Amino acid sequence: MIKKLFLLICLSPALQTAAQNHLILNADQGRDTINPRIYGHFAEHLGRCVYGGFYVGENAAIPNRAGIREDVIQALKKLKVSNLRWPGGCFADTYHWKDGIGPKDKRPTMKNVWWGGTTEDNSFGTHDFLNLCEAIGAEPYLAGNVGSGTVQELSDWVKYTNHESGSPMTDLRKANGRVKPWKAKIWGVGNEVWGCGGNMRPEYYANIYRQYATFMSDGVNSEQLFRVASGANSSDYNWTEVLMRDIPHNMLEGVALHHYSVIDWNNKGSATAFTEAQYFKTMKEALRMEELVTRHVTIMDKYDPGKKIALVVDEWGGWYDVEPGTNPAFLYQQNTMRDAMIAGVTLNTFHRHCDRVRVANLAQTINVLQAVILTEGEKMVLTPTYHVMEMYNVHQGALMLPVDVRTDNYRFDNQQLPAVSASASRDKNGKIHISLVNIDPNKPQEIRITIHGAQAKEVSGRILESTKLQDFNTFEQPEKIKPKSFSNFNVQQNELKVILPAHSVVVLEF
Ligand code: AHR
């Protein structure tokens, strides 16, 4: 009788769905470090990202440091931006870096063909960008022009930025006021060359890559560069296969991957006035990153079992319709708690795959797509995405601790997604951080955390939440959504019980 009752309890679907969330933290099984480069951002000459976002010019009334907004510098320093990718995106394969050096009033203008046909006056160029990186403490990631540039041009750019002396390029840099080279390590060799970067086939690009990569050094500095091959569009696995097969591994440090969380490229929907059906689709696309990374990594493992070559997710984030009344080519969108969900689950995915995903760049930093900062004249506001990345930056450079997560599902319209996403790490001071996201917009989730190999002492937490999923910060109400301290948990020996409110992001520390 007792046995029958036990079986009945185990098999009853109604009982199985109740409080299933359980996380096992293997605090004694850490092996790989979460590369800080996963916390990279992206700044393209697109809309108001560079001009008006980062850069207002030295004569602006807005407080600035050599033309870069002081408020932006402070916000990005606090965020701990590990690396910044520039000047594109699609713009990169139209950009000729020599147009952006020397006296600003002598620089030629160009038409920004990809992003609204605006006039680019080249007032923000190589020096401005590399000095900006120094000001915010970020490593530069320069995206080279392969689509419409030349091997010589990219080779010269490396010499100009990185070499001490001994070439016309280093003399030119010094004449332009910079004696010491910046020593930029991360270099993209073209961007989306399957599309805006030249509509190439992977076999053709692999050959082109070999040629460009060969001349990106003088033979002395080559081993110091981290060269990134233009990578696949979401699930184009053949692209990764061909690059890994056809490019010699001694000239390849990273292979890129781009994936945006888009509902439908022809009907992206509003950034703020979205339905639950649209939210569900966005989260499905965001969670798809797990599958994409896993499959691209499987292909890379076949050719590079030692994991020497990194997977570089150098464009990711949510993409919606632009804000009403703004230029459609400027990709200016608001940022809600939905974006906080995307950021939280995506970073958790990158952490769990940190042995291969070693660089990533959210698209884009300011006023474009899933921005961390929005500006309007002298005003600036931090978005929910900013706050998630700031809460999560405790994971940078920490030892990733494997987690086994059993989660309830978030159900909508006969479909389901895992409700809880998680990752964990131990930092250099021995502190353990667990980041948890409940994407369910309707229900809190209780989760039991069992800890192996560490003790849950002095537990504290921070949370990002808001009443509605559609909530966002505005210039009038900039602090509607911001991290708060969190204490909705209890500790019993080595178990934690945590209640995650609907659509919330929590980071625990002990
Ligand atoms: O981030 C906006 C654009 O999206 C980039 O320029 C391009 O690389 C991608 O298609």
pLDDT digit of tens for each residue in the chain (510 aa)?
A: 444 444 443 334 333 444 589 999 999 999 999 999 999 999 999 999 999 999 999 999 999 999 999 999 999 999 999 999 999 999 999 999 999 999 999 999 999 999 999 999 999 999 999 999 999 999 999 999 999 999 999 999 999 999 998 899 999 999 999 999 999 999 999 999 999 999 999 999 999 999 999 999 755 555 589 999 999 999 999 999 999 999 999 999 999 999 999 999 999 999 999 999 999 999 999 999 999 999 999 999 999 999 999 999 999 999 999 999 999 999 999 999 999 999 999 999 999 999 999 999 999 999 999 999 999 999 999 999 999 999 999 999 999 999 999 999 999 999 999 999 999 999 999 999 999 999 999 999 999 999 999 999 999 999 999 999 999 999 999 999 999 999 999 999 889 999 999 999 999 999
Q: Would you say the CB of residue 44 lies under 6 angstroms from ligand 1?
A: yes
Task: Please name the residues in contact with 363: beta carbons below 8 A apart, sequence gap of 6 or more.
Answer: 42, 89, 260, 315, 316, 317, 369, 370
CATH at 272: 3.20.20.80
- Angle of helix 384-392 versus helix 70-79 axis, rounded to 10: 40
Residue 1 lies in a domain: no
Instruction: For residues 235 and 142, state if they share a domain.
Output: yes
Q: Would you say the CB of residue 143 lies under 6 angstroms from ligand 1?
A: no
Instruction: For residues 352 and 473, state if they share a domain.
Output: no
Instruction: For residues 489 and 355, state if they share a domain.
Output: no
Residue 18 lies in a domain: no
Instruction: For residues 237 and 365, state if they share a domain.
Output: yes
pTM beyond 0.85: yes
In 33-133, DSSP assigns E strands to 40-42, 64-65, 68-69, 83-86, 110-112, 118-120
pLDDT at 218: 59
Instruction: For residues 451 and 385, state if they share a domain.
Output: no
CA distance 217 to 212: 10
CA of 258 to the centre of ligand 1 (A): 9
Q: Would you say the CB of residue 146 lies under 6 angstroms from ligand 1?
A: no
Instruction: For residues 428 and 303, state if they share a domain.
Output: no
If one counts the domains in the chain, the total is 2
Residue 12 lies in a domain: no
First to last CA, the chain: 45
CA of 28 to the centre of ligand 1 (A): 40
pLDDT at 220: 57
pLDDT at 493: 85
Structural domain ending residue among the three candidates 348, 368, 398: 398
CA of 89 to the centre of ligand 1 (A): 5
pLDDT tens-digit series, residues 226-253: 999 999 999 999 999 999 999 999 999 9
Residue 3 lies in a domain: no
Looking up tokens 């394969």 gives: 93
Residue 6 lies in a domain: no
Structural domain ending residue among the three candidates 398, 431, 448: 398
What DSSP element (H or E) covers 337? helix 337-352
Instruction: For residues 155 and 113, state if they share a domain.
Output: yes
Residue 8 lies in a domain: no
Pocket test of ligand 1: the residue of 199, 258, 259 to mutate, having most ligand atoms within 8 Å of its CB, is 258
pLDDT at 221: 53
Ligand 1 atom 4 nearest Cα: 89
Instruction: For residues 271 and 418, state if they share a domain.
Output: no
CA distance 469 to 445: 16
Residue-by-residue DSSP string for 484-504: EE---EEEETTEEEEEEPTTE
Structural domain ending residue among the three candidates 331, 363, 398: 398
Instruction: For residues 418 and 269, state if they share a domain.
Output: no
Instruction: Provide the annotated active-site residues.
Output: 192, 315
pLDDT at 470: 98
pLDDT at 20: 84
Q: Provide the residue range defining the domain that includes 414.
A: 23-29+402-509
CA of 473 to the centre of ligand 1 (A): 25
pLDDT at 3: 43
